[in-house]
């Protein structure tokens, strides 16, 4: 494993046809809810990162064909408490947005070292519950993205 995380990540909004969205509660920050996220590893494409993170964080096994690439990226400042995971001087991360349509709400196998709980919420409620502005914006764009 490399000594530092890459400041490139994915955000995967997992949702049902009825626009119920999966949220995960962060283990290190109880009360902080988010979609699937994770850093790109050396040699991975972004879509491979998205598939790996979905499997690791939810137990859902998907192929690249299952994931929708929104062609959107957001740059945000890395929280000071997490900067030690990155090379010295790295303060910003570029996050690439994807989505995954699942047939309906389902039981999730969370990664206990990363998450405490999960829930399925209607898209507007899920957006409101997210602590991350990029996650909130992606969920709010979900109906529009599905219409195109």
Query: Which residues participate in the annotated binding site for substrate?
Result: 5, 26, 37, 76-79, 132
Question: What DSSP line would sit under the chain, residue for residue?
Answer: --SSB-SEEEEEEEE-TT-EEEEEEESSSTT-EE-EEEEPPTT--HHHHHHHHHHHHH-----GGGEEEEEEEEEEEPPGGGGGGB-TT--EEEEEEEEEE-SS-------TTTEEEEEEEEHHHHHHHBS-HHHHHHHHHHHHHHH-
Mark the binding-site residues, compressed into ranges: 5, 26, 37, 53, 57, 76-79, 114, 132
Q: Which residues are annotated as a binding site for Mg(2+)?
A: 53, 57, 114
């Amino acid at each position: 494993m490399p000594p530092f995380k890459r400041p490139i990540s994915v955000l995967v909004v997992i949702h049902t046809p009825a626009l119920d969205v999966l949220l995960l509660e962060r283990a290190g920050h109880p009360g902080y809810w988010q979609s699937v996220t994770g850093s790109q590893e050396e040699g991975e494409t972004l879509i491979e990162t998205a598939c790996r993170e979905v499997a690791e964080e939810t137990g859902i096994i998907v192929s690249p064909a299952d994931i929708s690439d929104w062609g959107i990226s957001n740059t945000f400042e890395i929280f000071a408490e997490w900067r030690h995971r990155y090379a010295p001087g790295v303060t910003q991360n570029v996050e690439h947005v994807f989505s995954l349509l699942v047939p309906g709400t389902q039981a999730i196998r969370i990664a206990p070292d990363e998450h405490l709980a999960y829930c399925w919420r209607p898209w507007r409620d899920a957006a409101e519950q997210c602590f991350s502005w990029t996650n909130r914006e992606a969920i709010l764009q979900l109906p529009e993205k599905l219409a195109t």
